[in-house]
Amino acid sequence: MRRVLVVGLGEFSPKARETGLEIREMTFEAAERAYLDAGLRPEDVQGIVSSGLDFNEGVSITDSFTPDQVGGRLKFNMLVSGDALEAVYHAFMIVRSGMLDVVLVDGHAKPSEIENYGDVLRCSLDPYCSRPLGFDPYVIAGLEARAFLARTGTDPVAFSKVAAKNINRAALTGGPYGERVSPEDLESDGYLYAPLRRRHVARPSDYAGVVLLAAEDAVPVPEECVELVAVESAGSSSTPHFWLRDWGRARWVGAALKRIESRHGADPRDVDFVEMTEFFAHQELMIASELGIDPGVHLDGRSGPVVNPSGGCLGNGNSLTASGMRAFIASVKQLRGEAGAVQVRGAESGLVVSTHSEIAEIGTVALLRRSGG
């Protein structure tokens, strides 16, 4: 199979609320930067894989609104209904299969324009058994956080340690929710979804990100580049029927890692850092636990991979289905040595873990490494 390289990236950086540009203009800016970064022109790209969900964007057939602003007119197009890392997965398969050589992947979201996101998310629950109860779907996250604590015996202060770590890191990179805080500061926050406190929950951010993937034999490869070694996804239970969940675990992560090991012969745990979409503080601990990272160790930074060096969603915001793209691009920047104040020294490989949505038990895992051309 062909090697797949990340040859370009561009972002409209996350903001708590973007008031100047609308979502298509934000995506245009990200695409323009990705083309510049890759030294490619739109005509060099053969296909577009976008990600998005109708209700988030307030239109049906949301895919139809993507190609014009990313140079995708009259090209191959596929929309993946879910997180942008799933879209990366599709593009990876498209290039690996030999079908296309250069593919653009898009993730964009503007939650600041959604007036009733709680109602939207509630519509992802089973309409007969769950939805009529009328609860805020983030309650599921609270229940899950509680189950995690019960299952592992973790001190709930760990949630504040995770959140403080990520919020402080985002402060170093200008992330929209970055600030200098201590776990003790966060412990004084009120509960939103007990045991989750206010800043244990990622707040919305507007964002667009675009990456260009290419087969190594299709473009001039620089001496140093980033290879997308493997991408896999997995699910645990059924999202609408939340009572079937395996509470307090992100078991799907382990299943995806197994697929990376068995189908790609790679060791996804042997990495220098992990970027993940932790919409809630406990999710970082649940995912880290599935990766075999001791929560105490990773919080203290003594050894093992650095978790969420970019500040994750708690520091940079919840960009809905574009969250996985932000984590992916943050990882590529790490491997290029372009992560600035949060650069992981000597980073050679990284893992991106992205949940399909805040309350889903399905997600995607991507393994990246720095590679010679």
Gap between the Cα atoms of 82 and 42, Å rounded: 25
Question: Cα-atom radius of gyration of the chain, to the nearest Å?
Answer: 19
Among 79, 210, 213, 352, binds another protein (CB under 8 A): 79
Residue 80 within binding range of another protein, rule CB under 8 A = yes
Spatial CA neighbour of 199 closest among 222, 176, 220, 218? 176
- Name the residue nearer to another protein (CB basis): 13 or 124: 124
Window of 70-78, 174-182, 208-216, 290-298 that interacts with another protein by CB under 8 A: 70-78
Q: What is the DSSP letter of 204?
A: B
What's the CA gap between 354 and 364, in Å, rounded? 5
Q: Which two tokens stand for residue 8?
A: 């370009």
Contact 257, 365 (CB under 8 A): yes
Pattern of binders to another protein over 215-244, x per CB under 8 A?
-----------------xxxxxxxxxx--x
Q: Is 58 in the site for another protein (CB under 8 A)?
A: yes
Determine if 154 is a binding residue for another protein (CB under 8 A): no
Site string for another protein, 239-258 (x = CB under 8 A): xxx--x----------xx--
Long-range interactions of 258-267: CB distance < 8 A, separation 24+: 259/232, 259/234, 260/230, 260/232, 260/365, 260/367, 263/230, 263/232, 264/229, 264/230, 264/232, 264/367, 266/229, 266/230, 266/367
CB 218 within 8 A of CB 235: no
* CB-nearer residue toward another protein: 99 or 297: 99
CA 40 to CA 15: how far, in whole Å?
Answer: 27
x/- string (CB under 8 A) for another protein, residues 174-213?
----------------------------------------
Closer residue to another protein in complex, CB, 240/337? 240
**Structural tokens at position 306:** 């650095």
Residue 315: beta bridge partners?
A: none
**Which of these ranges, 94-102, 184-192, 275-283, 334-342, lies near another protein under the rule CB under 8 A?**
94-102
Of the candidate residues 42, 65, 136, 189, the single one contacting another protein (CB under 8 A): 65
Which letter does DSSP use for residue 304 in this model? S
136 contacts another protein (rule: CB under 8 A): no
* Piece of 35-43, 96-104, 169-177, 211-219 that binds another protein (CB under 8 A): 96-104
Site mask, another protein, residues 265-294, x = CB under 8 A?
------------------------------
Say if CB 340 and CB 170 are below 8 A apart. Answer: no
| CB nearer another protein, residue 74 or residue 133 | 74
Instruction: For the CB of residue 121, give the shortest distance to another protein in the complex, in Å.
Output: 7
Which residue in 41, 64, 179, 222 binds another protein (CB under 8 A)?
A: 64
Please tell me the distance from the alpha carbon of residue 37 to that of residue 213, in angstroms, as a whole number.
12
Distance CA 100, CA 40 (A): 15
Q: Taking a C-beta distance cutoff of 8 angstroms, is the pair 371, 266 a contact? A: no
Residues 340-369 that bind another protein (CB under 8 A): 356-357, 360, 362
The nearer residue to another protein, 49 or 335, going by C-beta atoms, is 49
Residue 39 in contact with another protein, rule: CB under 8 A = no
Among 89, 159, 247, 279, binds another protein (CB under 8 A): 89
Strand partners, 367: 230, 351
E runs forming strands in 158-221? 191-193, 196-197, 206-215
Point out which residues bind another protein (CB under 8 A): 1, 48, 53-56, 58-61, 63-65, 67-68, 72-82, 86, 89-90, 92-94, 96-99, 120-124, 127, 232-241, 244, 255-256, 259, 263, 356-357, 360, 362
